[in-house]
């Protein structure tokens, strides 16, 4: 169910940023992708995350994308924006600008490239949090970013009131139980890796930050709705159908794969910026085959 209130429930696709064939940011196409996702029932949107190619955007392009998202969504669902910068100062500046542009929350990443100590990691997060009044979701993805936001860091950060949630993208679902055992309900947990989303939602995640939802939003919404009403048979049916594509979210070329899936489903283009390049060869053929198979066998859905 759509709502402008940030409830941390349901499905929040990590939306793509669309580019022209010349690889300029395509604002109308980006807005069209976001509008279609909202109309298909998603509960919120993540803008300028990994799938939004945050670190391939120039500073003013990021702000233009945020402004365009706020404009087209028009309060129908909450918007969170990725804060993925190389330095803490840049992260503070972007967080403050995003707040002025009207987003509802931030998805805050460790500073890019540099692998910090626990103290440096916490100071980065605390500094950004103190610079904004927005609620913040930390993004934990050790395989991708070489940094683990461990229990020691989260213990220190528990005193920062607007750090309220954790997007958990570690591939080990035991992490959800460990965090709940350590912190109770101090942090809202969000499932952040598509091919363990079902497990995360059963183990206490409030919602799902999803990559492949950009290609199959109705099925993603139906999956979470089935879990929420206790219909695990229905949820498993959808999850098993979806799994060949969900595995793509754990691969290094997830952005290209998701954009190719979007393109096949008529929801966007596969243009990506260097150093990313569109998929080629057997990998491209495999992804096309998996998407087309899913498209040909889309499950009937219970109304949500």
Residue 184: CATH number of its domain: 3.20.20.70
Structure tokens at 168: 């958990």
Tell me: pLDDT of 1 over 50: no
Does the residue 294 lie in any domain? no
- Domain carrying residue 218: 3-235
Please give the positions annotated as active site. 139, 167
Q: Which residue did the predictor score with more confidence, 302 or 256?
A: 256
Average the pLDDT over each of 30-39, 68-77, 107-116 and give the range with the smallest value.
Answer: 107-116
What pLDDT was estimated at residue 3?
A: 41
Tell me: pLDDT of 304 over 70: no
Does the residue 268 lie in any domain? no
Range 227-239 average pLDDT: 97
Does the residue 28 lie in any domain? yes
What pLDDT was estimated at residue 113?
A: 86
Q: What is the pTM of this model?
A: 0.94
Query: How many domains in the chain?
Result: 1
What pLDDT was estimated at residue 144?
A: 78
* Residues ≥6 apart with Cβ < 8 Å to 256: 270, 272, 276, 277, 278, 279
Does the residue 33 lie in any domain? yes
* Tokens 């395989």 belong to residue: 143
Range 43-47 average pLDDT: 98
SS3 assignment, position 227: helix
Q: Which helix (H) or strand (E) holds 106?
A: strand 105-108
Does the residue 287 lie in any domain? no
- What DSSP state is assigned to residue 275? T
Q: Please state, as a whole number, how many other Cβ atoms lie within 10 Å of the Cβ of residue 74.
A: 10
Per the prediction, the chain carries an average pLDDT of: 95
What order do you get walking across the sheet with 207-210 strand by strand? 10-13, 207-210, 188-191, 163-168, 136-140, 105-108, 79-83, 45-47
What pLDDT was estimated at residue 120?
A: 96
Bridge partners, residue 14, by sequence: 46
Q: What tens digit of pLDDT does each residue of 113-172 get?
A: 889 999 999 999 999 999 999 999 999 998 878 889 999 999 999 999 999 999 999 999
Does the residue 247 lie in any domain? no
Closest CA to 162 of 123, 121, 105, 87: 105
Query: What is the distance between the alpha carbons of residues 171 and 77, in angstroms, rounded to a whole number?
Result: 28
Q: What tens digit of pLDDT does each residue of 169-219 get?
A: 999 999 999 999 999 999 999 999 999 999 999 999 999 999 999 999 999
Task: Determine whether the annotation assigns residue 149 to a binding site.
Answer: no
Does the residue 266 lie in any domain? no
Range 91-115 average pLDDT: 96
Does the residue 286 lie in any domain? no
């Amino acid at each position: 169910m759509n709502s402008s209130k940030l409830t941390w429930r349901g499905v929040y696709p990590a939306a793509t940023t669309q580019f022209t064939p010349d690889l300029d940011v395509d604002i109308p196409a980006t807005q069209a992708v976001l509008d279609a996702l909202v109309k298909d029932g998603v509960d919120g949107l993540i803008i300028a995350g990994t799938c939004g190619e945050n670190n391939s955007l120039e500073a003013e392009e990021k702000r233009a994308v945020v402004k365009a998202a706020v404009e087209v969504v028009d309060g129908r669902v909450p918007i969170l924006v990725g804060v993925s910068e190389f330095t803490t100062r840049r992260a503070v500046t972007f967080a403050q600008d995003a707040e002025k542009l009207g987003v509802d929350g931030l998805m805050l990443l460790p500073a890019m490239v540099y692998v910090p100590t626990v103290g440096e990691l916490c100071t980065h997060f605390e500094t950004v949090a103190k610079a904004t009044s927005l609620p913040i979701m930390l993004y934990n993805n050790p395989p991708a970013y070489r940094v683990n936001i461990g229990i020691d860091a989260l213990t220190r950060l528990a005193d920062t009131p607007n750090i309220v949630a954790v997007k958990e993208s570690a591939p080990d679902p035991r992490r959800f139980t460990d965090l709940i055992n350590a912190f109770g309900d101090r942090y809202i947990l969000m499932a952040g890796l598509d091919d363990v989303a079902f497990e995360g939602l059963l183990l206490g995640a409030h919602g799902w930050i999803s990559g492949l939802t950009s290609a199959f939003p109705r099925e993603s919404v139906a999956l979470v709705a089935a879990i929420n009403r206790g219909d695990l048979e229905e949820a498993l049916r959808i999850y098993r159908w979806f799994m060949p594509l969900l595995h793509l979210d754990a691969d290094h070329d997830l952005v290209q794969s998701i954009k190719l899936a979007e393109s096949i489903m008529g929801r966007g283009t596969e243009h990506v910026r260097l150093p990313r390049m569109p998929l080629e060869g057997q990998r491209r053929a495999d992804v096309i085959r998996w998407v087309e198979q899913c498209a040909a066998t889309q499950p009937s859905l219970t109304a949500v």
